[in-house]
A and B are shown apart, each in its own frame.
Chain A
Amino acid sequence: MAANYWESTQRRHWQSTREQLDVLRKKLEDEDQNLVQMYPLAQLRHLSIYFNQQIGRLAKRLGVRQQAMATAQLYIRRFYSKVEIRRTNPYLVIATAVYLACKMEECPHHIRLVVSEGRTLWPDFFSSDTSKLGECEFFLISEMSSQMIVHHPYRSLTALQGTFSLTQEESVLAWSIINDQCMTDLPLLYAPHIIAIMAILLALVPRPNQTGAQSANNSAGNIASAAHAALSSFSQPKAGAPEKQGGGARTKLQRLANWLAESNIDIEAIVDCTQELISFYEVYEQYNEKLTREQINRFVKARGLDK
């Protein structure tokens, strides 16, 4: 339920294993083999990065908060686990998801405003007809079976930052890592508290050249290597706690490791989350915005989905 993740529709209906997710997506592609062959697309992670950028642009114009953006991203991810992307106009889906997420997160915007901003951002791919967005809202809600209450890791992060005495900087970094994981499948795979702990872990691992990494994805390589180090420290727990000079973060890391060892939390899951995010950061390096955009625009135009 709303306060209880364990009873939530998110856990009961929208959490799956990687294998299940793969089967779902494979099935969608198989059902539309012609489309898939005719319109090649970048890998899903790159599409997610692109969607995230577009959501960010729209959200900026509307003054939407991060949490509503995260909700919109999860709606889109759920939707595209059930509907082949080449059958849709992703720009319309993005705007609709933002419109709906804002209502759910209690920061609503008028449909006309959302449409006019969408029109400004994507003039060649976005109809000025508000009923198109209204129709897409039905589509979106229907595919989600009206299950629109979502649980994000932000709340767990807020609850845990005191437990691990995170500094302002560490909290901000963990927060931005949570933002980044919205571009991965993690929200469909793991409970929000698992993801929050992963973010805290990554925020605490010492980085080789510690700059005030605002957005984690700028220093993907750094984080990746540091996280690998942290993971290996987990594989040899309580091995004489190397907390000589490392200072605050290292002690905190040790505290996190001890805390995890005493909890019932699935360490494997956290390791897996960490790896997923690291490989996402690696993939991010190869992201080609122009190519991704052109591929999307091509099928939208060719199939007249912008009409």
Chain B
Amino acid sequence: MSNPPSSGGGPSSVSASRTQTLKRSVQQAFDDPNDRGVGPNMGYQSKVRVIDRYKVIGFISSGTYGRVYKAVGRHGQTGEFAIKKFKPDKEGEQIQYTGISQSAVREMALCSELSHVNVIRLVEIILEDKCIFMVLEYAEHDLLQIIHHHTQPTRHPIPPATVKSIMFQLLNGCQYLHANWVLHRDLKPANIMVTSSGEVRIGDLGLARLFNKPLHSLFSGDKVVVTIWYRAPELLLGSRHYTPAIDMWAVGCIFAELLSLRPIFKGEEAKMDSKKTVPFQRNQMQKIVEIMGLPRKEQWPHLVNMPEYAQLTTLSASSHHRNGGSSLEKWYYSTINSHSASSIPSSNASLGSEGYKLLSGLLEYDPEKRLTAQAALNHSFFQSGDKVSANCFEGMKMEYPHRRVSQDDNDIRTSSLPGTKRSGLPDDSRPGKRLKE
């Protein structure tokens, strides 16, 4: 099998005469014989070469940023690695240095600086052949994959001790990020990694940034942040004031999803119109209102100052929501009790009322009243019941399937894939972010 010609003879158009096994083609994504960029003068050349240091064993996923590969060290480096190769600006043509995007610069700088047990660990960054390779520790699982596993073949809940441990570790990582003035801005199950020893690692800091740099308002840069299902109401209502609370809303959504195995607010994204104005995400806001009731200015004083405040009146709340009532409590109890009928001992009913209090504290409309990561860590949810384990798989008999790593690297050449494609997850049509296999 040979690779299709790449669009326009880019970096990966290796000489056709070369025998190309599939395995080879994965390696070739790293091995670009063209133009090693050694000018007569200060031509830049990397001191280390990715393929000299790592043996690529497969393809994991791709996204707008580039592609991720799985690799092992060639020089006895312990463990496995995920190598994120940033996509050059104009793929397909002869690649040129065009300046590194600000988000890549942020991610490189932040990952180099951060060091915490619940944040994905950077091993090194190699700048080679006009490409950026971020070498990260490899994590066998992620929350999306774990949640998905629990829907197969029928829905069966994630054990309560696992939920508790995942939440504690996730909050612990958030607390570290926020204490260091880092906003993640894209927390969602696919970005929360879990190692084979059950340690949670917050990953993908591609949208993360420091919030202690007020040179420009945080709004002015990138206008739309956070995958829509996890987007905080203040962002949906057009707030220009970013705070760590937007991450905490996402954590609340993830908590809910760990319990119900479905996104709690599964809205449809309104696309940007031709004028590139950001539309009001009516459908997403509607989904929130259906469970949380309409936000009221009594519970959220700054609500009336939100740019899209007027839009709220056009949303329909069901009858008992009209006066601002929330049915989150009902949602919670019916969710945690739903599996108990099927006589599965590991029902989440044991998470009890403390679980509801934590969830409602995270899904608080007013960002100023929403639980902070620190407050959530001190929540009685983690004090009651069994001790929280640092290994979220502790006591589990089963093992989650391993991340699928593909040798079929054909997709690597097709540069026009929108959104994220990942290997091995038949996925429930996440909005614009994934494609079915």
Contacts and interface: CB of A to CB of B under 8 A. Distances in A.
A131 B130 CA distance: 10
Given A139-B42, A304-B41, A305-B42, A106 B113 contact: no
A229 interface: no
A136 B97 CA distance: 9
Interface in A98-112: 99-100, 103-108, 111
B328 interface: no
B215 A9 contact: no
A2 B105 contact: no
A250 B96 CA distance: 59
Interface of B is mostly: loop
A307 B42 CA distance: 10
A147 B212 contact: no
Interface stretch (B4-12, B179-187, B375-383): B179-187
Interface string B39-55: 11111101100000000
A57 to B, nearest CB: 20
Contact of B102 (A9, A68, A103, A139): A103
Interface string A105-141: 1111001000000000000000000111111111101
A107 B182 CA distance: 17
B215 A65 contact: yes
Contacts of B64: none
A180 B169 CA distance: 45
B110 A149 contact: yes
B76 interface: no
**Chain A CB within 10 Å — which of B39, B41, B100, B212 has the most?**
B41
Chain A: number of interface residues, binned into ranges:
35 or more
A87 interface: yes
A104 B97 contact: no
Contacts of A146: 108-109, 111-112, 125
Contacts of B44: 135-136, 138-139, 142
B113 to A, nearest CB: 5
Contacts of B108: 141, 146, 148
Contact of B42 (A108, A136, A142, A149): A136
A181 interface: no
A92 B106 CA distance: 22
B41 A9 contact: no
A137 B97 contact: yes
Given A3-B180, A149-B113, A304-B41, A131 B105 contact: no
A67 interface: yes
B180 A138 contact: no
Contacts of B102: 103, 108
Contact of A134 (B40, B42, B99, B209): B99
Interface in A251-307: 303-305, 307
A303 B213 contact: no
B57 interface: no
B98 interface: yes
B105 A105 contact: no
B99 A111 contact: yes
Contacts of A68: 215
A3 B98 contact: no
A131 to B, nearest CB: 4
Given A3-B181, A130-B99, A137-B100, A103 B112 contact: no
B215 A67 contact: yes
Contacts of A87: 42
B114 interface: yes
A142 B105 contact: no
Contacts of B385: none
B213 A106 contact: yes
A2 B43 CA distance: 32
Given A130-B98, A134-B97, A304-B41, A106 B105 contact: no
B180 to A, nearest CB: 4
A145 to B, nearest CB: 7
Contacts of A136: 42, 44
B112 A147 contact: yes
A141 B97 contact: no
Contact of A147 (B43, B97, B109): B109
Nearest to B214: A106
Contacts of A138: 44, 97, 100, 127, 130
8 contacts: A1-B180, A2-B113, A3-B212, A104-B109, A106-B209, A136-B44, A137-B97, A142-B46
